[in-house]
Amino acid sequence: MPLIVVVGGFFGDEGKGKVVSYLGLIDKPSICVRTGSINAGHTVNYNGKSWKLRILPSCFVNESTRLMVAPGALFKVDVLLREIEDTKAHGRVWVDANAGIIEDKHVENERNNEYLMKTIGSTGQGVGAAMVDRVLRVLKTAKDIPELRGMITDVSKDVNEELDRGGEVIVEGTQGTFLSLYHGTYPFVTSRDTTAAGIISEVGVSPRLVSDIVLVFKSYVTRVGAGELPGELSPEEVVARGWVERGTVTGRPRRAAPFNIELARRAVMLNRPTQIAITKFDALFPEARGKRRWVDLPVSARRWIEDITEALKVPVTLIGTGEDSLDMIDMRREVVGP
């Protein structure tokens, strides 16, 4: 009955898509559920191809996995249909009847809001405006959309029944811990709770069913839009370190800072992970690029991971060493057992 929840540890952009796609390929889960909304993108690189997803679960690379959109999610119909086409996932995508629909009016309302766009740094995807309509109980949901009729299901029921049968389910969280509406750097946050507790509430599963919480950190910290970023580097220093990135959804440059152990400790406190994944490790240690075995890492790189494990009191089990989904050092068996 393994239920694995994947959570971002910083401000989003940690590489959750890579981690989830790797788990999809290796663990072969029965179901993968995506929470959140289209204001956050997950990038998957596999077998020479690249996909930038905004609502479809990153497990799509495993063709045997059923892909589901949670009842707590919000999405635009055209975005979902385009991603199904791009990933050739026809016939295995299911949407909860209560998943919320973002309409053009929501996008327009948000982009016309100067406070949101200029002060907060909203992505302007209509998510906040749609969430307001959700709270007011006037939002359209998936069951109201004719184009989705053949995909409608009860995700909570499907997930719970699969867990009762002993199947594996992966829940893919969105954004990062410190963008949580409640636990982040308010008001520079997103419109939902992005911690592990919030993620599973969007799906409809009990905390008692969670087997593992994988907290994902990048080897450095990035943030798009406004809000505090402790230790923020100048643009020139970001270039010098090779940490230049742009947001998957907006294309905006990401601000960057070195790995922040205090932020990481708070993320651990809020999420209580059983495991930690570190991505973009090759950006910190170029000699680690493409390595897939712990013993092939240089001593300095192994020491860095050991120091993180000791500081956070949680084992680092997954280390991303390149863009491809399979560029991963997987130490789960060695660290937490079979």
**What does pLDDT average to in each consecutive run of 10 residues of the chain (338 residues)?**
94 95 97 93 92 95 97 97 97 98 93 82 88 97 97 98 97 96 96 97 98 98 92 94 78 89 98 98 96 97 98 98 97 73
DSSP state of 285: -
Candidates 13, 96, 324, 327; catalytic one: 13
CA distances in angstroms from 53 to 38, 41, 111, 236, listed in the order given: 8, 5, 22, 30
- Name the DSSP class of 135: H
Eight-class DSSP state of 47: T
**Position 210: which residue type?**
V
Active site residue 327: no
**How high is the pLDDT of residue 42?**
85
The pLDDT score that the predictor gives to residue 124 is 85
**Which pLDDT value is given to residue 337?**
55
CATH superfamily placement of domain 3-336? Adenylosuccinate Synthetase, subunit A, domain 1 (3.40.440.10)
Helix, strand or coil, per DSSP, at residue 221:
strand
Concatenate the DSSP letters of all residues of 232-267 into one string: PPPHHHHHHHT---B-TTT-PBPEEEE--HHHHHHH
Tell me what pLDDT residue 115 has: 80
* Annotated domain spans of the chain: 3-336
pLDDT of 252: 72
The amino acid at residue 222 is T
**pTM of structure:** 0.94
- 23 exposure class (CB count in 10 Å sphere: 0-12, 13-18, 19+): buried
Among the options 42, 106, 324, 327, which is catalytic? 42
- 252 contacts 224 by C-beta, under 8 angstroms: yes
Name the residue with tokens 């989830």.
20
183 is catalytic: no
